[in-house]
A and B are shown apart, each in its own frame.
Chain A
Amino acid sequence: MEVKGTAMAGTLESSDAQVTVEPGTNGIELSVESSVLNQYGRKIRQTVLDTLARLEVANAKVTVVDKGALDCTLKARVEGAVFRSNGITENLPWGGAIK
């Protein structure tokens, strides 16, 4: 899926993450900010990259501000931002690209 415009999902509340996606041309350019970066930075990056791969996003600038989100929340926020960038809200691929 192509990231067609800038879109954001999530908040800066505890246990949440705010994910912003912007169109890109140079693969995935991922920036992660987290209070637990030293302990979980690698895991957060991997979850975000895996989610983008399932959505077949090949080029995008992605910014994550993590506030202690569980994996399931991180995935939800990445998906939310990517589908918003495409204006898609219906007939979503539950259990397919969203997994």
Chain B
Amino acid sequence: MNPNLKRLRRSMMFLNVQKPGLIKDPYIYKPDSIMLDLEDAVAENQKDAARYSLYHALQEIDYRGVERVVRINGLDTPHWQEDIRCCVAGGCDSIRIAKTERAADVHLVEEYVAAAEQEFGRPEGSVLLMAALESTRGVLNALEICESSSRLFGVALSGGDYTKDLQTRITGTGVELAGARQHMVIAARAAGVQCFDTVFTNLDDMEGFVREVEMIKLMGFDGKSLVNPRQIEPTHKVFTPTEKDIIFAEKVVREIDEKKAMGIGVFTVDGKMIDIAFYDGAKRTIDLAKASGVYEGDL
């Protein structure tokens, strides 16, 4: 299994490959992933030029451990096949498939990625995939998409296109996205892949942004697509367990291990009733704290 399938992806920041000034040093903002965009951000008559920039950036810029995801053009365009050859040859970590509507879309991309891995001498399975769900059909087919490939690490909601398809608009309240978010995160969890929320584009409303990140974390999402470096730190803050969370999770893990050996199934920790059902959640908190670099314990 590719060890990057489950890596930490709290923040996935979009960058326009057409702009050399944007792609030369985004690692200074420390996002977990960057999404180098060949799709919507690049003008139709600059698709070719963007690929040369992408190839050399992937080859020559040291992104210092930040995951390099490439958003390729949609399968309904003449660009996506060369996009795949370019980014696989360049050495990208992952590919984001735009406008995914069914498992067959993932299978088609997977076929071309495998061919490119062979052509450019990369190990088979080294390039991972994620699928953007941008339509009502894509969202309804979330489970088959989530289960479509061993390369697929997650799915992301693309709210702008989705709300157009739903014949509504982004309101800022989240009401128009509630059904899609809930459905996608349930499908992702059922399939064992990650789930990422859509972008928040009003950069003047940081309070609204933080509220949205807090909400999607509570819903079960793993991270959020971002459009500006200013959104990275607040996102990480929300997704990083607090000291209180970590101490409680440590107690739960230790007590469950200890009580299990003594044949006790239910007990209390800090006045809360705890049983084995809390174990996985507490372990996840510890794992997230470790991955976020804030855990110094021995669990």
Chain A residues packing against B (C-beta within 8 Å): 9-10, 13-16, 69-73, 75-77, 79-80, 83-84, 89-92, 94-95, 98-99
CB atoms of B55 and A83 under 8 A apart: no
B26 close to chain A: CB less than 8 A: no
CB atoms of B48 and A83 under 8 A apart: yes
Residue from A70, A71, A89 with most neighbouring chain B CB atoms (10 Å): A70
B247 close to chain A: CB less than 8 A: no
Complex CA gap A94/B82 in Å reads: 10
Contacts of A73 in B (CB 8 A): 20, 24, 53, 56
Q: How far is the CB of A77 from chain B (nearest CB, A)?
A: 7
Q: How far is the CB of B78 from chain A (nearest CB, A)?
A: 9
Contacts of A16 in B (CB 8 A): 19-21
CB atoms of B57 and A80 under 8 A apart: no
Contacts of A69 in B (CB 8 A): 20
B30-66 interface bits toward A, Cβ cutoff 8 Å, 1 = contact, 0 = none: 0000000000000000011101110111011100000
Q: How far is the CB of B179 from chain A (nearest CB, A)?
A: 40
CB atoms of B61 and A72 under 8 A apart: yes
Complex CA gap A71/B82 in Å reads: 23
CB atoms of B82 and A76 under 8 A apart: no
CB atoms of B90 and A15 under 8 A apart: no
Residues A10 and B49 in contact in the complex (CB < 8 Å), given A15-B20, A69-B20, A94-B86? yes
Looking at the complex, which one of A70, A83, A84, A89 makes contact with B20 (CB distance below 8 Å)?
Answer: A70
Residues A90 and B82 in contact in the complex (CB < 8 Å), given A70-B20, A72-B61? yes
CB atoms of A92 and B86 under 8 A apart: yes
Looking at the complex, which one of A13, A71, A80, A95 makes contact with B52 (CB distance below 8 Å)?
Answer: A80
Complex CA gap A89/B52 in Å reads: 11
Looking at the complex, which one of B55, B82, B89 makes contact with A89 (CB distance below 8 Å)?
Answer: B82
CB atoms of A15 and B24 under 8 A apart: yes
CB atoms of A80 and B49 under 8 A apart: yes
B267 close to chain A: CB less than 8 A: no
CB atoms of B120 and A94 under 8 A apart: yes
- Closest partner residue, chain A, to B17 (CB atom): A76
B189 close to chain A: CB less than 8 A: no
B80-117 interface bits toward A, Cβ cutoff 8 Å, 1 = contact, 0 = none: 01100110011000000000000000000000000000
- Closest partner residue, chain A, to B19 (CB atom): A13
Contacts of B90 in A (CB 8 A): 94
CB atoms of A77 and B24 under 8 A apart: no
- Closest partner residue, chain B, to A14 (CB atom): B21
Looking at the complex, which one of A75, A80, A90, A95 makes contact with B120 (CB distance below 8 Å)?
Answer: A95
25 pairs, CB–CB < 8 Å, chain A vs chain B: A9-B49, A9-B52, A13-B21, A14-B21, A15-B19, A15-B21, A70-B24, A72-B57, A73-B20, A75-B52, A76-B56, A79-B52, A80-B48, A80-B52, A83-B48, A83-B52, A91-B85, A92-B51, A92-B85, A92-B86, A94-B55, A94-B89, A95-B89, A98-B55, A99-B59
